[in-house]
Amino acid sequence: MAMFPRKKSSKLSHSESLSSKDEKLKNVTEVHFMGILPDIKLTGSATRDREAQLVDRIEEAQIEGRLPMSAQEESRVKLNVSLHGIQVLDLKGQEVLQRHPLHTIAQVVHYSDGGSINNIAFKIGLVDKHTYSAYVFQCVSEEHAVLICQQVKSMFDKVTEKGR
């Protein structure tokens, strides 16, 4: 299984106050990282919306073996949603494995495999580009997946509220 490519490593500062650290971690939740599906180009199909096309691409990658079908224990990470975007952290919450600014999150899709597996896909890319990458995470429940989607929506709402 491919893990996140390492970008800039970051650790929480020991000099941060506990309340500051607690505030930063209130939107942190544990998920399983399923993988990255790079270079996705979605078409302007009249029969399938972009959300369904994204899920189709992810499921095709799973069938082809490019993404796992189910989570492995070693794939557990922490996902932090904030005004700055999303961060994927190691389980101790100290090392940043991946970071995506809020303005690069083009779409968040929650979908179920028809059974008990609930996944979230973050479509990441720049607005003026037509190629995206999907970062896929498995959640412990539907409620958990919905909560993460609501957190992301809340962050977008706060940012657009500031501009008014």
- pLDDT (tens digit per residue) in 99-137: 999 989 988 999 997 778 899 999 998 767 778 999 999
| Of residues 122, 114, 134, the one with CA closest to residue 58 | 134
Predicted confidence (pLDDT) at residue 3 exceeds the cutoff of 50: no
Whether 8 is covered by a domain: the verdict is no
Asked if 133 contacts 36 with a C-beta cutoff of 8 angstroms, the reply is yes
Chain position carrying tokens 């979605």 = 42
Whether 121 is covered by a domain: the verdict is yes
Predicted confidence (pLDDT) at residue 14 exceeds the cutoff of 90: no
| Of residues 113, 139, 111, the one with CA closest to residue 123 | 111
pLDDT of 37-76, one tens digit each? 998 886 666 666 878 889 999 999 999 999 998 888 889 9
pLDDT higher at 33 or 23: 33
Whether 91 is covered by a domain: the verdict is yes
Q: How far is it, in rounded angstroms, from Cα 96 to Cα 79?
A: 10
- 32: containing domain: 24-162
Provide the domain count of the chain: 1
Whether 39 is covered by a domain: the verdict is yes
Q: Cβ neighbours of residue 70 under 8 Å, at least 6 residues apart?
A: 117, 138
Whether 9 is covered by a domain: the verdict is no
CATH number for position 78: 2.30.29.30
* pTM higher than the cut 0.75: yes
Tokens of 126: 């720049």
